[in-house]
Amino acid sequence: MIKTILYTFFLVFIAELGDKTQLAIMLFSAKSNSIMSVFIGSCLALICSSFLGVFAGTYITKHVPPHYIQNAAGVLFIVMGLLILRGNI
């Protein structure tokens, strides 16, 4: 169990470094008078999105094989990357 917790922590921590969510939080905290409020709000948002991801993943994998989900996620990341490069997002 502890191995799964640590693996998940490091995976999410590394994935979140330097992404646009972190950059938005840095910008918001620079403009805010209450950095603790920004910290608490961003923590709650990450908790809620993780909660949705865990339960959606649990539900979806009961009906769809995991390799289909992995392939779909890969394709979606490529599409999003191309849209970002084109300036559509």
Domain parsing of the chain, residue ranges: 2-63
pLDDT value of position 80: 86
Q: How confident is the model over 41-49, as a mean pLDDT?
A: 92
Predicted confidence band of residue 84 (pLDDT cuts 50, 70, 90): confident
Give start and end residues of each alpha helix (H) in the chain.
2-16, 20-31, 35-60, 66-86
pLDDT value of position 22: 85
Q: What does the alpha-carbon distance between residue 74 and residue 27 come to, in Å, rounded to a whole number?
A: 29
Predicted confidence band of residue 57 (pLDDT cuts 50, 70, 90): confident
pTM beyond 0.75: the answer is: no
